[in-house]
Every structure is written in C-alpha cells, then in structure tokens.
C-alpha cells in the first residue's frame, strides 16, 4: 500500500470539513467520501439521508464482515483556519484527522487490497459524534446479518485496540418553579435555581448507589451543561441540567435509569421533568475477545509489534453492533492522539500497516475464521 496515496486521500477528506451539526457540511463531506470510495472500491455507494444526515453504504454480495466508521467530526466549520492540514516530521494534523478520517482512508485501502470484496459491507455514517440518532437502525441492521464488525475508530494510546467500551446514557433534567420579583416579593416565587442545585447534588450521588454486576466503581454520573433564570432580578422559574452517564455493563445502566426516574423535588412547589435515557449499550469484552486474539496472531504474521487491548470510557458505533450480538473489534483505525483537541494528530507511517491488518483480518473472517 502506498503511503503517498493514502496521505493524498487523507488530505482530501480533512480539508472537507464535516461538523456533525451542519447537515450541509456533512452532505458535502459525504460526496467527497463517496467519490473516494467509488474510486478505490469500484462501486457506487447506497446513499441514505435520514433526518437530514447523509450516510453511505457499500455492500458486496452476501454480508459477512461489516467495516464501520463515520465521516462527521466535532470541529465547527472554519476550524481549518486555526488547525490547517499539514504533514510535518511524519505527523499529520488537521480537524478530524485522527477521529476518524485517517481510519476511513485505511478502511478504503484495506478493502481495495482484497482479491475480492465479496462478503464485505462498508458503512460510513454522518452523526456518530452526536450519538448516532439517525444512523443507529442502519448500523444495527447492517451488523445483525454479519459475522463480525471491524470498527475503524482511532486507536487508544500507542495503537492499542479498544476491546471494551462503557455504555452511555444521556439525560436532561428540567426543573420548573415560579417567577417572582427578587427584590419586592421573592417569597412568592419558587426558585428553580435552588431546586436545580439540590438536584445536581442528588444526581452526583447516584453513581455511589449503583453496584455494577461485574466491575464496580466504574460508573460515572456527571452533570454537565446547566442553566436557570432569565434576569438578575427575577426568581428563576425554570432551570435545566444535562447529565452524562457512563457504565460498564447493562445492569448498571438499568439501575442508573431507575434512580434517575426516582428523583423527586426538594423545594415545595417545584416540579421535575426528566428527558432522555440509555443511548449506547456497553461493548462487553466478550464481544471482542475472539477477534482480538485473531488480530494478535495476524499482527505477528505481518511483523507488527504485539497488539494491546484496553477498555475505554468513550462510546462508538461499535457499542451498537456488539449490542445486537455481532462480534466487534474497535480501535482498528489511526495511530496518534489528541481526539477532539488542538493536538489531534496521526502518525502517518503506521497507516499502511494498520490497513494491512484490517485487510488480513477481513480476509480471515471471509474465509470462515471469525472465531
């Protein structure tokens, strides 16, 4: 595989910005990704626009292996001005280069190197960074008919594969009170800000109440975005807080959900409304164990350094594929670091080797060796 060709393809993807919340930008990116896939895979993709978001899928024959990725990024349009595309001293930089446009390039070149793509499905979605609200059914349906899913998300530190991921739940807690003049008659109001403070404290105590069925102590329930009130001289009539939940297993995820729904008002006259719930199921180590063992043997055959496997707190679409029972191995994409941050980068010399690993692992499954 030609590193120069891969870098040219990577530059093409990175300079086409694809902020998840900008549907027009995601559509433009999808056209660029589709053209690259068309050139390397020799086939037109199926384009699915769901809820305004553009997703791409290539299917070759009876599906056995799903190669999964996303082309949207967390970087707002215009980020290229502060973080331009560059390759200096073997390090590529630019918005989305690590998460996960280099993975897409490696995916395309891996499939292009196969004697035949028969049995391969390539799915590239456009809303992963938002939790895949429109693409989840497409992901789950694609994985359900396959024997293995290989996720080209970026690797963990040092190129480690991601053999387990926490499940994710997302909530928004709304608090309703009653407005009043803060100076003249505050006693006539019901302060939603004060109630919100009580609820934030209650939410932070939920993790301590949850005992994970297998890995206790790895539950996090974190209030994030919050607001209350409309002016400095008015008792707040409403408030809200977003809550991020990470859990190691389904039992913990269900228990957190139960406790979130058991929250009750502390302030007389206040009212609560809870929105949201579980978003991604956990990716259990058992879903990746077999594929990780095979990948390790293949890496040795290819002369690569031994592979490490780690559990991470962040979620991916691999959570969904594992959730429908498809063996899933994640983190097969770029080696580098700094995802979602100014230091995002890719070690370019690793790209051809990682693509060869994906190609060999895909061939192994196609030949009947998924376990």
Contact 339, 128 (CB under 8 A): no
pLDDT of amino acid 285: 93
75 and 94 together in one domain: yes
How many distinct structural domains can be found in the chain? 2
With respect to residue 115, please indicate whether it lies within any of the assigned structural domains. yes
Same domain flag for 259 and 299: no
pLDDT at 369: 63
Same domain assignment for residues 204 and 228: yes
Distance CA 320, CA 302 (A): 30
User: Do 221 and 319 belong together in one domain?
Assistant: no
**Averaged pLDDT, 154-172:** 95
User: Burial, 87: exposed, middle or buried (Cβ in 10 Å; 0-12, 13-18, 19+)?
Assistant: middle
Residues 38 and 17: their CA atoms lie apart, in Å, by 20
Report how far residue 121's alpha carbon sits from residue 103's, in angstroms, rounded to the nearest whole number: 16
pLDDT digits (tens, 9 = 90+) for 122-155: 999 999 999 999 999 999 999 999 999 999 999 9
Residues 13 and 159 in one domain: yes
Report d(CA 171, CA 242) in Å as an integer: 6
Q: CA 126 to CA 133: how far, in whole Å? A: 10
- Per-residue pLDDT for 213 more than 60? no
What span, in angstroms and rounded, lies between the C-alpha atoms of 211 and 347? 40
Question: Is 371 part of a structural domain of the chain?
Answer: no
* Residue 289 pLDDT: 96
From the list 69, 97, 279, the residue with the least C-alpha distance to 153 is: 69
The predicted-structure confidence for 291-347, as pLDDT tens digits, reads as follows 999 999 999 999 999 999 999 988 899 999 999 999 999 999 999 999 999 999 999
Which residues participate in catalysis according to the annotation? Answer: 72, 128
DSSP state of 234: B
- Full-model pTM: 0.89
Mean pLDDT of 171-179: 98
CATH of residue 98's domain is 3.40.630.10
What is the rounded distance in angstroms from the CA atom of residue 190 to the CA atom of residue 188? 7
Burial 281-302 (b: 16+ CB within 10 A, else e): bbbbbebbbebbebbbebbeee
Distances (CA, A) of 59 to 4, 124, 142, 284: 27, 12, 10, 27
Distance in angstroms (rounded) separating the CA atoms of residues 79 and 128: 19
Percent of the chain with pLDDT over 70: 97
Condensed to tens digits (0 to 9), the pLDDT of residues 238-281 reads 999 999 999 998 999 999 999 999 999 999 999 999 999 999 99
Task: Residue count of the chain, please give it.
Answer: 371
Say which CATH number the domain at 189 has.
3.30.70.360
Q: Which of 246, 280, 314 is the last residue before a domain boundary? A: 280
The more confidently predicted of residues 26 and 371 is: 26
Residue 185, both tokens: 């008659």
SS3 label, residue 309: strand
End-to-end CA distance of the chain: 27
326 is a domain residue: yes
Q: What is the pLDDT of residues 24-50, one digit of tens each?
A: 999 999 999 999 999 999 999 999 999
Beta-carbon-side half-sphere exposure of residue 179 (alpha carbons within 13 Å): 10
Query: Can you give the pLDDT at residue 214?
Result: 46
Q: Judge whether residue 63 has pLDDT over 70.
A: yes
Same domain? For 15 and 125 the reply is: yes
| Both tokens assigned to 86 | 């560059």
Instruction: Indicate whether 217 pLDDT > 60.
Output: no
Distance CA 332, CA 219 (A): 26
Give the three-class secondary structure for 342.
coil
Q: Domain end: 280, 303, 322, which one?
A: 280
pLDDT band at 1 (very low <50, low <70, confident <90, very high): confident
Same domain, 179 and 225: yes
Looking at residue 314, its pLDDT comes to 86
CA–CA distances in Å: residue 219 to residues 204, 206, 212, 319: 11, 9, 8, 17
Residues 199, 161, single domain; the answer is no
Q: Which two tokens stand for residue 47?
A: 């384009």
Range of the domain at 358: 3-165+282-366
């Amino acid at each position: 595989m030609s590193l120069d060709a891969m870098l040219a393809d990577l530059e093409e993807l990175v300079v086409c910005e694809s902020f998840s919340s900008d549907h027009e930008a995601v559509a433009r990116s999808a056209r660029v990704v589709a053209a690259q896939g068309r050139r390397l895979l020799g086939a037109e993709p199926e384009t699915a626009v769901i809820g305004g978001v553009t997703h791409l899928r290539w299917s070759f024959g009876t599906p056995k292996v799903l190669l999964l990725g996303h082309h949207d990024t967390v970087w707002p349009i215009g980020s290229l001005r502060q973080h331009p595309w560059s390759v200096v001293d073997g390090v590529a930089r630019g918005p989305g280069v690590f998460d996960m446009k280099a993975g897409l390039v490696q995916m395309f070149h891996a499939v292009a190197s196969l004697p035949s793509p028969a049995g391969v499905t390539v799915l590239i979605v456009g809303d992963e960074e938002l939790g895949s609200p429109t693409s989840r059914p497409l992901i789950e349906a694609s994985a359900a008919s396959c024997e293995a899913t290989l996720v080209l998300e970026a690797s963990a530190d040092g190129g480690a594969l991601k053999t387990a991921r926490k499940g994710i739940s997302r909530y928004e807690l709304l608090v309703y009170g009653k407005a009043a003049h803060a100076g003249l008659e505050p006693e006539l109001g019901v302060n939603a800000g004060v109630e919100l403070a009580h609820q934030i404290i209650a939410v932070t105590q939920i993790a301590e109440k949850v005992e994970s069925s297998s890995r206790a102590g790895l539950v996090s329930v974190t209030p994030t975005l919050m607001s209350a009130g409309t002016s400095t001289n008015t008792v707040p009539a409403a408030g809200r807080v977003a809550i991020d939940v990470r859990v190691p297993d389904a039992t913990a995820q269900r228990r957190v959900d139960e406790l979130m729904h058991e929250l009750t008002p502390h302030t007389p006259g206040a009212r609560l409304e809870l929105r949201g719930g579980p978003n991604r199921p956990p990716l259990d180590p058992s879903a990746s164990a077999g594929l990780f063992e095979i990948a390790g043997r293949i890496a040795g055959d290819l002369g690569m350094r031994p592979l490490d496997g780690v559990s991470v707190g962040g979620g991916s679409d691999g959570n969904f594929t594992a959730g429908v029972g498809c063996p899933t191995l994640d983190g097969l994409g770029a080696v580098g670091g700094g995802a979602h941050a100014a230091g995002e980068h890719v070690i370019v010399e690793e790209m051809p080797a990682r693509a060869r690993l994906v190609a060999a692992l895909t061939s192994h499954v196609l030949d009947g060796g998924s376990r």
